[in-house]
A and B are shown apart, each in its own frame.
Chain A
Amino acid sequence: GAVVSQHPSRVICKSGTSVKIECRSLDFQATTMFWYRQFPKQSLMLMATSNEGSKATYEQGVEKDKFLINHASLTLSTLTVTSAHPEDSSFYICSARALRDTDTQYFGPGTRLTVL
Chain B
Amino acid sequence: AQKITQTQPGMFVQEKEAVTLDCTYDTSDPSYGLFWYKQPSSGEMIFLIYQGSYDQQNATEGRYSLNFQKARKSANLVISASQLGDSAMYFCAMREVGFQKLVFGTGTRLLVSP
Per the bound structure, the CA–CA distance linking A24 and B63 in Å amounts to 30
Per the bound structure, the CA–CA distance linking A93 and B45 in Å amounts to 9
Cβ–Cβ < 8 Å partners of A93 in chain B: 43, 45
Identify which of A11-19, A60-68, A69-77, A104-112 touches chain B: A104-112
Size class of the B contact interface (CB-based, 8 Å)? 20 to 34
Say whether, besides A44-B104, A46-B101, A107 and B50 are in contact (CB < 8 Å). Answer: no
Interface residues of B in 73-114 (CB under 8 A from A): 91, 95, 100-102, 104-107
Which B residues form the contact surface with A (CB < 8 A)?
Answer: 33, 35, 37, 42-47, 50, 52, 91, 95, 100-102, 104-107
7 further A-B pairs in the complex, CB-CB below 8 A; given A34-B101, A106-B47:
A43-B104, A46-B102, A103-B50, A103-B95, A105-B35, A107-B47, A110-B45
28 intermolecular pairs with C-beta atoms under 8 Å apart: A34-B100, A34-B102, A43-B91, A43-B104, A43-B105, A44-B45, A49-B100, A49-B101, A91-B43, A93-B45, A95-B45, A95-B102, A103-B33, A103-B52, A103-B95, A104-B47, A104-B50, A105-B35, A105-B102, A107-B37, A107-B44, A107-B45, A107-B46, A108-B44, A109-B42, A110-B44, A110-B45, A112-B43
Which A residues form the contact surface with B (CB < 8 A)?
Answer: 32, 34, 38, 42-44, 46, 49, 91, 93, 95, 97, 103-110, 112
